[in-house]
Amino acid sequence: MDNKDSNKENIRDPQVFDNKKIWRLSQVTDSLQSVVKKAYSTKYWIVASIARLGYIKSTGHCYPELIEKSDGIITASMRGFVSASRFKTISYKFKKETGEELKDGIEWLFLAEISFTPTRGITLVIVDSEPAYTVGRLAVERIKTIERLKKEGLFEKNKRLPFPMPPSRIAVISVESSNGYQDFLNILKREGKDYRISTKLFPAIMTGEKNIESIVFRLGHIKEIADRFDLVIILRGGGGEAGLAGYDSYELSAAIADFPIPVITGIGHAPNQLVATMVSHLDGITPSDVAFKIVNWFKVENQKLIDRIARIAQLSMFKLQREDARLNRIVDSLPGMVHRRVSMEEIRVNTMRHLLVSAGKLRLERESAKLDQLSLIYIESIKRRFAEEDQRIDKLQRELELINPLRMMEKGWSYMIMDGEIVKSPDQVKEGDIVTTRTSAGEIKSVVVKR
């Protein structure tokens, strides 16, 4: 412990033990309390981030944990204290001017006394705050978010998606019990009763510290089944301007901008247009406004359909009238057309008949001449064939004459027969058989005496 003159009055005489000076803890804290009181006797405007608000509902007191970061690393940390009465005033003023509750993560400019007590140590006793500083910081962050979205090509991406007309399958992200959501449903039911409009609610936290995380989670869920819907509507009803800062966040705005189907926002009125509404396909302002827009789209498309039907009916009537006139002209001209056609066909038939007769005569003459020519050829061929056959027959007769048995017998030849068969071998007869020998002059009967 330092024994400077300035601190002597606050440090009692130490005890001595083994030649060592010893101070009690209370002596040290009393000394520090005196030093802090003298060195920091005024109030200071301090900027810090709220790591944890530390509001105690039962007492109304608030014990914020205050930090400062550099490149994501905590470089300073202190504990604060706001009495119940002051916190009520400070929080009301902050919400009124920023539209946000005092909460974790906010960069805050506040007026504080630096206090030291033996039991609590050093504490920043906060007596006032300047919400305008926080508003400015939020505006800076908002500008950075917009620039980042534009640089990444996301800012206009959802707006460029084709819009389904009319959108009949709608995914809604909202709080089921909120007045805004109920107003939305009532308007669709009342004004859109003649149209087929289906909605499916995906409940989410729409205000407070977890609204960004909750809405982004629901968008992720819908994205997995996006083909079942025509568009997504994000509705926040009630709550005034409080709790809107989350809708300027990059995380939520990027999720909306990069969504595969159109996203419509109905978050409510705000002093400045929110980044989430800027990147959405369309900002409907309030849930009621969004509902009326949807119904109006159906009315517009319905009127277009009625106009088309009327136009088609008009064109059909005109076409029918024109065709009726054309048919009447055709009917009126049919007798003359039929007469001319019959005359033309008679001429054609007569011409064809004449041509056929002439062609038939010519063909008959050609075939007759051809037949006469073939007849002459056949006659000559038959004559030649007969002559050749006569010659062959004469030759055969001469050959037959040469081998005629009678001719041979006239020359002295004879042959023997027995029982009507010619005897060609001695083995055919035996002694006592009667045989006949034929000559050219007659027959001789003989008895075989010996063979």
Return the domain boundaries, the chain: 5-136, 144-299, 408-447
Question: d(Cα 365, Cα 249) in Å, to the nearest integer?
Answer: 109
Residue 202: its H or E element: strand 198-203
pLDDT value for 140 = 75
Q: CATH number for the 144-299 domain, one of 3.10.20.740, 3.40.50.2300, 3.40.50.280, 3.60.15.10? A: 3.40.50.280
* Contacts of residue 117, Cβ cutoff 8 Å, sequence gap at least 6: 29, 33, 123
pLDDT tens by residue, 230-269: 999 999 865 555 567 788 889 999 999 999 999 999 987 6
Mean pLDDT, residues 437-449:
81
pLDDT value for 343 = 85
Question: d(Cα 382, Cα 388) in Å, to the nearest integer?
Answer: 10
% of the chain exceeding 90 in pLDDT: 31
Q: CATH number for the 5-136 domain, one of 1.10.520.10, 3.40.47.10, 2.40.50.140, 2.60.40.10? A: 2.40.50.140
Average pLDDT, the chain: 85
Q: Is the pLDDT of residue 346 over 80?
A: yes
pLDDT tens by residue, 282-305: 988 889 999 999 999 998 888 888
pLDDT value for 126 = 94
Beta pairing, strands 15-17 & 169-174? unpaired
Question: 5-136 and 144-299: same fold?
Answer: no
Mean pLDDT, residues 328-352:
84
Residue in this structure with the two tokens 């039991």, named with its chain if needed: 119
pLDDT tens by residue, 68-95: 888 778 889 899 999 999 999 999 998 8
Count of CB atoms situated within 10 Å of the CB of 439: 13
pLDDT tens by residue, 369-422: 888 888 888 888 888 888 888 888 888 888 777 777 766 677 777 778 888 888
Q: How many CA atoms lie within 13 A of 331 on its CB side?
A: 6
pLDDT tens by residue, 119-134: 888 999 999 998 888 7
pTM above 0.85, yes or no: no
pLDDT tens by residue, 159-194: 999 999 889 999 999 998 888 899 999 999 999 888
